[in-house]
Amino acid sequence: MRFFLCTIITLFLFTSCKRKKAEHSANTGEVVNIVHARGFHITKFNGYTQIDVTSPWPDAGKGYTYILYEKEENIPEGVRSDANIQVPVTSLVVTSTTHIPALEALGEEIRLTGFPDTRYISSEKTRDLVDKGQVREIGSNENLNTEVLIDLQPDVVIGFALNSSNKAYNIIQQSGIPVVFNGDWMEETPLGKAEWIKFFAPFFGKEAEAESIFEHIESEYLKARKLAENAGEKPTVLSGSIYQDSWILPGGKSWAAQFIADAGADYIWKDTENTGSLFLSLESVLDKAGDADFWIAPSLFTSYKELKEANPHYAQFSAFRRHRVFTYARTRGAGDGLLYFELGPNRPDIILKDLISIFHPEILPGYEPFFFKPLDNNQ
């Protein structure tokens, strides 16, 4: 289930936004320069577009090539792909809540006909479609209801997978419905995740819109980061909480750690090389971060009472005693999911501003955080 996986999976190369020419077989294609994302490439040819997904999941071993062709156009001989999709698509199924905001931003959420675990959809427009019965429930990501999905006959399924062993996707492909894997969650930088809106754009012929949307997000992010660079002292920051027997927190090279650095703070585990999560003992975390100035993202806890009841040792941290613990779990939409996991990857500029307003409130006076809010002290 993507919602829960996101709680433990913590996942800048800046170049110009120009496009350049590249050779593809006997044809000359226009390579769309993807600025921050590392997991996909797009090349536009006369009459069709090629999307290469290089990192659909960890240690994938191979990439996938998809050809999007326009009506009445023929794909040249010799062009190999894992799936061919006629565009613009009129119906599709997506399998991760992170896909929903991209559809809404492009104005194409109405094309969505099926989704696994629809109760976790929180985005307002798509939630309304679910409530009206226009988006059908298709099981869970780990156990897709292929019978319902095949009955929907979508033009394409945008798949999210942890590995290549999902048998449901094989059944869907065998039925003649193309499956395209999306690896947005594999990106290691905030802007890299957000740039996957460009991945969705060619399915609807909305490349210009996606470029404009991303440029705005990128600009807002970079302006906020620049403000944080001028901040004075950098406060120390702790993150995560205990799950089972380990304290799970972001590695020093993860996208979560990048947020803290860009917000002008000093993440205590910034020097670790992990791009995902660290699994540490409570004792080691308390020893190293007991005096941390701030504590962010303590899993799904929403109040100090709840946090202390889960483990009384949490109260030993200075950030707890000084009421400097901030959570994303208090920001919910209409569904059972959290907006941080759905909208957050698509709007890193908002997350960054939230963190800057916490660490350096003087930089953004009057700013009201959207995702990160203080733990409730009244429970």
Q: Print the domain residue range for 299.
A: 231-374
Q: Which one-letter amino acid corresponds to residue 189?
A: T
Tokens of 27: 């044809």
- Asked whether residue 225 is assigned to any structural domain, the reply reads no
- Whether 314 contacts 307, CB under 8 Å: yes
CATH label of the domain that carries residue 158: 3.40.50.1980
**Within this chain, do residues 337 and 302 fall inside the same structural domain, yes or no?**
yes
**Within this chain, do residues 181 and 35 fall inside the same structural domain, yes or no?**
yes
Give the per-residue pLDDT at 120.
94
Q: How far is it, in rounded angstroms, from Cα 327 to Cα 240?
A: 10
Give the per-residue pLDDT at 283.
97
Burial of 18 (0-12, 13-18, 19+ CB in 10 A): exposed
**pTM exceeds 0.85:** yes
C-alpha neighbours within 13 Å on the C-beta side of residue 101: 23
How far lies 34's CA from each of 38, 39, 191, 272, in Å? Answer: 8, 10, 11, 28
Give the per-residue pLDDT at 128.
95
Tokens of 102: 């991209």
Domain boundary among 189, 217, 245: 217
DSSP, collapsed to helix, strand or coil, labels residue 326 as strand
**Within this chain, do residues 209 and 150 fall inside the same structural domain, yes or no?**
yes
Q: How far is it, in rounded angstroms, from Cα 349 to Cα 250?
A: 19
- Asked whether residue 289 is assigned to any structural domain, the reply reads yes
**Counts for the chain of helices (H) and strands (E), in that order:** 14, 21
- Asked whether residue 74 is assigned to any structural domain, the reply reads yes
> What's the DSSP call for residue 281?
-
Q: Tens place of pLDDT for every residue, the chain, 379 residues?
A: 444 444 434 333 222 333 333 334 445 799 998 999 999 999 999 999 999 999 999 999 899 999 999 987 888 888 999 999 999 999 999 999 999 999 999 999 999 999 999 999 999 899 999 999 999 999 998 899 999 999 999 999 999 999 888 899 999 999 999 999 999 999 999 999 999 999 999 999 999 999 999 999 999 999 999 999 989 899 999 999 999 999 999 999 999 999 999 999 999 999 999 999 999 999 999 999 999 999 999 999 999 999 999 999 999 999 999 999 999 999 998 878 899 999 999 999 999 999 999 999 999 999 999 999 999 987 5
**Within this chain, do residues 166 and 269 fall inside the same structural domain, yes or no?**
no
Angle at 180 between CA 178 and CA 182, to 5 degrees: 165
Q: How far is it, in rounded angstroms, from Cα 344 to Cα 221?
A: 13
Give the per-residue pLDDT at 339.
95
- H or E element that contains 199: helix 197-200
How far lies 222's CA from each of 35, 254, 348, 362, in Å? Answer: 13, 18, 10, 18
Give the per-residue pLDDT at 27.
57
DSSP, collapsed to helix, strand or coil, labels residue 215 as helix
**Within this chain, do residues 285 and 205 fall inside the same structural domain, yes or no?**
no
Domain boundary among 192, 217, 242: 217
- Asked whether residue 222 is assigned to any structural domain, the reply reads no
In the block, residue with structure tokens 């090389």: 273
- Whether 352 contacts 225, CB under 8 Å: yes
154: left (phi over 0), alpha (psi -120 to 50) or beta: beta
**Within this chain, do residues 188 and 322 fall inside the same structural domain, yes or no?**
no
- Whether 115 contacts 121, CB under 8 Å: yes
**Within this chain, do residues 197 and 68 fall inside the same structural domain, yes or no?**
yes
Number of compact structural domains in the chain? 2
